[in-house]
Amino acid sequence: MEEARQRFGELVVLHQRRAARIAYQYLRDSADADEAVQDAFLKVFSHLPSYREAWPFEVWFTRILINGCLDRRKARTRRDRWFVAGEASSADEARLAAADGAPDPERRLLARERRARLAAAIERLDGRQRTVFTLCHYGDCTPREVSAMTGLNESTVRVHLFRAARKLRGLLGGKL
């Protein structure tokens, strides 16, 4: 455990990007996603003695991250009952444009519309299908890893993934 504490910085560097992608898919806001990732790393560090070595670290960490993201979504839903939600910030737009490598405004607009359509379709999936799809496609997890993270059987994960992809194809008109 002492060695794990010393190598914690390495763990953060190793899992930061993947965690940020997963959190962004759940929260759809880069600031909230960054805070969720930071909170997850803080929880992991403070609960390091309770880590069970039977599970890979990545599985344990991802469960903590997902639970934090779900808690943030619930809190946002309660908060949004009273406030009007804002648009994506200009910093979010600039970051996404740089990631797309789209030099002209038309391509950036089309990419933004495509992302919005996909995000809206993913939001229409039921909870388990959305979780499985997000972990597999944005978290780069295998069905076996998703099984360990969610507590579902691996075959159940595969079924949810198949059904999620089929539903997304239908919602997007076969353009997935």
List the CATH code of the domain at 1-86: 1.10.1740.10
As a whole number, mean pLDDT of residues 139-164 equals 90
- The 3-state secondary structure of the chain, one letter per residue: CHHHHHCHHHHHHHHHHHHHHHHHHHHCCHHHHHHHHHHHHHHHHHCHHHCCCCCCHHHHHHHHHHHHHHHHHHHHHHHHCCCCCCCCCHHHHHHHHHHHCCCCHHHHHHHHHHHHHHHHHHHCCCHHHHHHHHHHHCCCCCHHHHHHHHCCCHHHHHHHHHHHHHHHHHHCCCCC
pTM value? 0.56
Residue 40: per-residue pLDDT:
93
- Domain boundary assignment for the chain: 1-86
Residue 86 clears pLDDT 50, i.e. is over it: no
Residue 103: per-residue pLDDT:
63
Which comes out higher in pLDDT, residue 50 or 147?
147
Residue 37 clears pLDDT 90, i.e. is over it: yes
